[in-house]
Amino acid sequence: MTSTVSRAVQDYLSHVSVERGLADNTVRSYRRDLLRYAAFVECKDLGEPREIGEAQVLDFLASLRTGDEDHVPLSSASAARTIVSVRGFHRFMLREGIIDVDVSAPVKPPTPAKRLPKALPIEDVEALLAAAGGPGTTLAKRDKTLLEVLYGTGARISEAIGLDIDDIDFDGGSVLLKGKGSKQRIVPLGSYARDALEDYLLVARPTLTSAKGSGPAVFLNARGGRLSRQSAWTVLTKAAERAGITTDVSPHTLRHSFATHLLDGGADVRVVQELLGHASVTTTQIYTLVTVEKLREIFATAHPRARL
């Protein structure tokens, strides 16, 4: 490697390694991305950084997505990471006076495709909740109540295990959830979650409290302390195993299912936004993609002119 571009790449890698102290894995990623970039521009007979234009950076991005005889096509996420490396390299050259204009600045990394949230079918949710009840022990009542609350309110796992007894309004049929950034919201409490909470608080929780007192926490562990996030995760995974659910299930899966089932049932997206505690409706609208996909499936199988 003898071109000015290649030498600038080596200088940049030294900069991020020594002066910025980036992790070895990060530096290796930069090296891989930028050696590919340098080879690409050199194949265009552009050995000098000032000869590179925005068109060449765009061509390089296109080559990442299409691949070539030496490289497989990259996903949008991997191509985006590579372009971020290239943009950082060009900013470095601009600061060092190697180039006069950062031609990479207008080239935006590709936006990764939105991943549709994974929601369980209603029958799987029902099987999961039934399996959480187990043989009816104290811990089984707690576990079933926890999952009823997660699915019945759309709470994040941190919000559910953070519940205190005073956060529950049985008369008003609601629960106070404390979300991100100390934000609070009041969410309706459905009859299944309410009944499970009443039974748990009356029958099961008193047997879990420690001799020194357990404070206001709703969900307690076997030692009388507040249930941890990891323990709550274990409750869910064990219930999924007993229910025979083979897809990956996480506490967020119940939150996704809560939102998706509401929208499938005709709820307005802004109502779902309030229930989930999203600051922007844009965040909530990804769930509408799930509903559209479901409509497409129904259309494709039901409409006589939709079949191939």
Q: Which residues are catalytic?
A: 156, 180, 252, 255, 278, 287
Instruction: Kindly state the DSSP code that residue 172 receives in the 8-state scheme.
Output: T
Query: What does the alpha-carbon distance between residue 251 and residue 158 come to, in Å, rounded to a whole number?
Result: 10
Instruction: Kindly state the DSSP code that residue 120 receives in the 8-state scheme.
Output: -
Of the candidates 11, 98, 87, which has an alpha carbon nearest to the alpha carbon of residue 49?
98
Query: What does the alpha-carbon distance between residue 33 and residue 52 come to, in Å, rounded to a whole number?
Result: 17
Query: What does the alpha-carbon distance between residue 92 and residue 134 come to, in Å, rounded to a whole number?
Result: 60
**Residue 198 in tokens:** 């009443």
CA 275 from centroid of its chain's CA atoms: 18
Instruction: Kindly state the DSSP code that residue 182 receives in the 8-state scheme.
Output: G
What radius of gyration, in Å, describes the C-alpha atoms of the chain? 27
Name the pairing type of β-strands 174-178 and 168-169. antiparallel
**Residue 118 in tokens:** 């994974």
Query: What does the alpha-carbon distance between residue 177 and residue 157 come to, in Å, rounded to a whole number?
Result: 11
**Planar angle of CA 237, 241, 242, nearest 5 degrees:** 120
**Residue 183 in tokens:** 């934000």
Helix ranges (DSSP H) in the chain: 4-14, 24-43, 54-66, 76-95, 122-132, 138-153, 157-161, 191-199, 205-208, 229-243, 251-264, 269-276, 281-284, 286-302
Query: What does the alpha-carbon distance between residue 202 and residue 218 come to, in Å, rounded to a whole number?
Result: 11
